[in-house]
Structure 1
Amino acid sequence: MIPSTAQVPVRVVDSDVHPVPRAGAIAEYIPDEWRKFALSHRVGDTINYDAPDYAHAYAMRVDTFPADGGFPGSDPDTMFKQLIIEAGSDIAILEPASKFTRIPEATSAMATATNEWLANHWLDSRNNWHQRWRGSICVAIEDPSGAAREIEKWVGHPYMAQVLIKAEPRPSWGDPKYDPVWEAATRHDITVSCHLSRGNYETMPMPPVGFPSYNHDFMVTYSLLAANQVMSLIFDGVFDRFPSLRIVLVEHAFTWILPLMWRMDAIYAARRSFTGLKRKPSEYVKEHIKFTTQPLDYPEDKTELTRALEWMEAEKILLFSSDYPHWTFDDPKWLLKHLPEHAREAVMFKNGLSTYKLPSTVPAVESQTRVW
């Protein structure tokens, strides 16, 4: 199809949407030396997940299964109808789940395949005729030189909007070994986003006291993992070495950043001469780091959420996200109502436009729900 010549203003930027390859679609893109390895490891073998209704709907919205029998997120037309036309998102940041292994080179190979698949099956002129999809350059951060090469390969693509990494690999991001990733991203002025992953074996986000007993407490560790990466980025001087670096933490929740900023600032005040930092830690957070709104911590007393959003200056650090097609999907019309009025435009679209360097208008599409 041909995009409309009429333009509409972008009013919803969705920072977390999950496309999924159709069965067998990604195999042809896996580099030859890693194809047998990748295809012999079944997806889901090491996933620690027991979300509600998992056995029936695999933790997806039950209405997102395409008519052709594919998996939710595998059909661009179904996603376009439900996310753009019905929910009203104007631009969606696509974040495919690139396979995570214990071998950096294998993870890097799967990232390469995922990028080729995404470019050819979602960002091509047939599936992105409406210009609403923006892709992620998937990289294996545990292979920094390979990650930098992949950034160089794809950064010129007109619809690649960010670099996508995982938080599980060790050591933490402040280690200089990762500097090639930050250097490539800042040189090309592209944001680096981190979506939570489940890891494998020793790369799973294990608390200091060992693995938790149940999935519901295991899930909380993702926020702890993100908190440690935030501290490493700041106290290990990454933002001083790369002052234009932009980081987005996706699906790690966000209300925890408020007490963490307070605590880091207190330590900084007491030990400033030992830290080597040029500014308070909270200032680095507000300038360099963004968080997606889903999952939204939702206390029984909504005024508590409002106060937290105001104290953390949500208009500076939050990006709207729906998490489509998962069962935790947040409709933009619903989320809008829970934001302080003064922060709504920033969170729903302005922060997304600036973070991902997006256009302020997109081609109009017939019958699209307008959230604003």
Structure 2
Amino acid sequence: MSLTEQNPETTAAEPKVKMKRSIIDCDLHLVPLRGGFNALKPYLPRFYREQLETWGPRVPAQIGMYNNGGTNGTKNDHKIPPGDETDALNYIRSKLLDKYNVEYGIITGMDYGINTIPDTDYAAAVTSACNDYTIEHVLDKEPRFRASIMIPKQDPVLSAKEIDRVGSHPGFVQAIVSNGAEKPYGHRHYYPIYEACVRNNLPFAIHVSMEGIGINPPPTGAGYVSHYAEYRLARAGIMMTHLASFIYEGVFELFPTLKVVMIEAGMLWIAPAIWRMDQDWKALRHNTPWVKKPPSEYYRDHFRVTSQPIELPPKPELFAPLMDAIYAETNLMFASDYPHWDFDSPQLAFPKMSDERWERIFYQNAAELYGLPQRAAAEGGEGL
């Protein structure tokens, strides 16, 4: 008979909970914290402030694609309550950083619509304003955050100028663009961006969004889709095109230190993609003699991919071999996509895996890519 059974008023001692290690979350959508586009007004030249006040942002959006019960894709229980930017930051600290023991969180922006407009000067002004806002209201206020440099990818020269302007700031760890693009990212049109990334020792990140919006072409080779579920599948296909473009155009022979991050397009599709690319390279290498290695080797050396949204095979025993096939131990990084409706909890997203694999995915791969320190907060949060 237990002590509690002998004396019902005696409360049994709670078992000691061993808290798990801290993590790096590689996809957080948090900027601006408050006010949306209007929060950027103080950082814009007067010319554009007046235009914003008269005509609004004039930036295409994908809001109509979201039909998930949230607000603009935000999970209802992740909506920041009323208050100022300090209140918003405190809420995020409590509900994300502290709760899940996030040692570092990589902010990947909020809206990539500025990547879809033909007015490149306006795009450059807005992306600069976003970066300045991020420095003042996020990076200077919370040391656990790192951020992505927003750039006007429509104009690679202006993009390179912006990377050089803020690239030395220790809070910025990559330059970021939308998946939707006028040309595949291996095209030489974008070389000034990669030159700037290499100069500043920054990865180039591609985040799903804006496929088929504004000046970007349709999201599929067959045209536009009708439903959000179709659109989500099309995103991976476009990311696959960028992957192949980088490799077959020979970008990494020209920029051997460049790293590319593919964000929020899933991950397991990469296995058959690189298998197919290796086979085609062997059969057709006379078309691209500058591609000196099998495409899978370029993928291993130059690409990193984030986990969300994770594709889970119908048979659990298939998961581990597919993780091996995408070189998860070196190339995969955890991402939650906070605060979006399809947020992946770090506690629940992955099936059970080895301690070594967990450590690489949840911390070490991102720390190595972004030059982050080894963890300081060994314990905390709710446990993983």
Q: TM-score, length-normalised on structure 1?
A: 0.88
Q: Across the two proteins, how many residue pairs are aligned to each other?
A: 356
1:115 equivalenced with 2:131 (yes/no): yes
Unaligned runs of 5+ in 2: 1-19
Shift of 1:95: 1.3
| 1:35 has 2:49 as partner | yes
Determine the structure 2 residue equivalent to 1:14.
25
Structure 1 match to 2:168: 156
Instruction: Give the equivalent residue in structure 1 for 2:366.
Output: 352
C-alpha separation between the residues in 2 aligned to 1:284 and 1:342?
24
Structure 1 residue aligned with 2:11 = none
| Distance in structure 2 (CA, Å) of the matches to 1:29 and 1:10 | 38
Matched, 1:228 2:241: yes
Deviation at 1:31, TM superposition (A): 2.8
Going from structure 1 to structure 2, the CA distance change for 1:87 and 1:216 (only over 3 Å counts) comes to same
**Structure 2 counterpart of 1:145, from 125, 135, 157:** 157
Give the 3-state SS of the residue equivalent to 1:90 in structure 2: strand
Shift of 1:273: 3.2
Q: Which residue of structure 2 aligns with residue 186 of structure 1?
A: 198
Q: Which moved more, 1:156-165 or 1:114-123?
A: 156-165
State the shift of 1:170 in Å.
1.5
| Structure 2 counterpart of 1:347, one-letter code | I
**In the alignment, residue 35 of structure 1 is paired with which amino acid?**
R
- Pairwise CA RMSD of aligned residues? 2.5
Cα deviation for residue 189 of structure 1 reads 1.2
Question: Which string of whole-angstrom CA distances, capped at 9 and with x for unpartnered residues, describes residues 67-111 of structure 1?
Answer: 32689x981111111111111211000111244242222222211
Bigger mean CA offset, 220-229 vs 162-171: 162-171
Distance 1:323 1:304 in 2: 25
Relative to structure 1, is the Cα distance of residues 175 and 67 closer, same or farther in structure 2, using a 3 angstrom cutoff?
closer
Following superposition, the deviation at residue 254 of structure 1 comes to: 1.5
- Aligned-pair identity in percent equals 26
Distance in 2 (CA, whole Å) between partners of 1:38 and 1:278 is 49
- In 1, the alpha carbon distance for the partners of 2:321 and 2:375 equals 32
Comparing both chains, which one has the higher relative contact order based on Cα–Cα distances under 8 Å and sequence gaps of 6 or more? Answer: 1
Could you say if the C-alpha distance between residues 192 and 258 of structure 1 is closer, same or farther in structure 2, counting changes exceeding 3 Å?
same
Name the aligned partner's letter for residue 20 of structure 1: V
* Alpha-carbon distance in 2 for matches of 1:29, 1:313: 42
CA–CA separation in structure 2 for the residues paired with 1:37 and 1:304: 54
Q: Is the 8 Å Cα contact of residues 10 and 360 (structure 1) preserved in structure 2?
A: no
CA shift, 1:315, in A, is: 1.2
Contact 2:304 2:332 in 1 (8 A): yes
Q: Which runs of 5+ in 1 are unaligned?
A: 1-8
Q: Following superposition of structure 1 onto structure 2, how do residues 235-254 of structure 1 map, counting pairs within 5 Å?
A: 235-254=248-267
Aligned partner letter, 2:198: T
Instruction: Say which of 63, 66, 74 aligns to 1:50.
Output: 66
**Structure 1 residues 338, 170: closer, same or farther in 2, change over 3 A?**
farther
Aligned residue among 315, 324, 330 for 1:316: 330
How far apart are residue 192 of structure 1 and its match? Answer: 1.3
The answer as to 2:76 corresponding to 1:65 is: no
Note the C-alpha offset of 1:202: 4.1
The answer to whether the Cα contact below 8 Å between 2:174 and 2:203 also exists between their aligned partners in 1 is yes
Compared CA separation, residues 168 and 161, structure 1 to 2 (3 A): same
Aligned residues of 1:185 and 1:191 also touching (Cα < 8 A): yes
Alignment of 1:299 onto 2:313: yes
Aligned to 1:105: 121
The structure that has the greater radius of gyration is 2
What amino acid does structure 1 have at the position aligned with 2:292?
K
The more displaced of 152-161 and 96-105 is 96-105
- CA separation of 1:278/1:11 partners in 2, compared to 1, >3 Å: closer, same or farther? farther
The residue aligned with 2:13 is none
Given that residues 180 and 219 in structure 2 are in contact (C-alpha distance below 8 angstroms), is that contact kept between their aligned partners in structure 1? no
Give CA-to-partner distance per residue, 1:170-219, whole Å, 9 cap, x none. 12212212111101111221111111112523415421111112221022
TM-superposed deviation, 1:370: 6.6
Which has the higher mean CA deviation after the structures are superposed, 289-298 or 40-49?
Answer: 40-49
1:38, distance to aligned residue in structure 2 (A)? 4.5
The secondary structure found in structure 2 opposite 1:334 is coil
Separation (CA, whole Å) in 1 of partners of 2:306 and 2:245: 20
Q: Does the 8 Å contact 1:205/1:222 carry over to 2? A: no
Q: Given the superposition, is the C-alpha separation of residues 108 and 340 from structure 1 closer, same or farther in structure 2, using an over 3 Å criterion?
A: farther
Query: Structure 2: how far apart are the matches of 1:13 and 1:161?
Result: 13
Q: Does the CA-based 8 Å contact 1:198-1:205 persist in structure 2?
A: no
Deviation of the 1:323 alpha carbon: 0.6
The answer to which of 339-348 and 219-228 deviates more is: 339-348
Q: Which of residues 213, 225, 245 in structure 2 aligns to 1:212?
A: 225
Distance 1:36 1:74 in 2: 29
For the Cα contact (< 8 Å) 1:64–1:325, is it kept in 2? yes
Structure 1 residues 205 and 323: CA distance shift in structure 2, 3 A: farther
Q: Contact 2:182/2:215 (CA < 8 Å) preserved in 1?
A: no
Offset, 1:63: 2.3
